[in-house]
Amino acid sequence: MTACLEAATEAGVVRAAVAALRRAEPIVVLDDVRGAGTGLLVVAAEHATTDVMAFVVRHTGGFVRVALPAQRTAELALRDMMVPDPGSRAAALTVSADYVHGTTTGISARDRSLTAMAMVDTATHASDLTRPGHVPAVRVHDDGVLGLPAPAEAAVDLVRLAGLRPGAVLSELVPAEGTDLVCGTNAEEFAAAHGLVAVGVAALVAALIDVRLRSDALAS
């Protein structure tokens, strides 16, 4: 009975996060599989307006990335920043880029907003980006959180579930004094204070595994 209740709660939180992303709202994703539950602000890249990007920059360390599928990073010629280690579980960061149309220095919230939205716009080509810039991408695992249970993979999986373009802005929350990362309960409290949904990577993994098990059961 307890296991069933936990599964229902996890699924409900995931549904709430998906609905929030669909409404163009940021969410908080908790990195509760690999670490101490570090909180990251996440928003669908196509909804990363200047105001939303300013909110992200204001409440995080400012290291804003865009999580993208491998196919998209290849299309945009965003090469890995370092040679990937096949056994590593670290985020696959690419070279940073700026959108060339309508931007200036590339560092402002407006410019980073334009770059993030351009990265998930199918009309954007590699030639529309300058490198290096101010917005790196994170190349996510092809199997999402079921292949690598990490925040970038969770962000893209959630955006996909919302029916949006596969790409998400993400950055680690920091407290007002900026001395450390916001983790666990503090991240959940931040989400509650700002009316945001908080979802753990573990909850998404559990929900997707449950869906897969149900599909397999129906197919057998």
The domain limits of the chain are 2-219
Token representation of residue 146 = 């079921």
Enter the pTM of the model. 0.90
Backbone angles phi, psi at 9, to 5 degrees: -65, -45
Position 141, amino acid:
H
pLDDT in tens, 185-206: 899 999 999 999 999 999 999 9
Distance CA 115, CA 48 (A): 9
Per-residue CA distances from 75 to 3, 81, 135, 191 (Å): 43, 16, 16, 34
- Residue 217: the pLDDT is 47
Closest CA to 137 of 85, 88, 76, 90: 76
- Residue 155: the pLDDT is 98
Mean pLDDT, the chain, rounded, equals 90
Q: Is residue 213 very low, low, confident or very high in pLDDT (cuts 50, 70, 90)?
A: low
The CATH superfamily holding the domain 2-219 is DHBP synthase (3.90.870.10)
Percent of the chain's residues with pLDDT above 90: 76
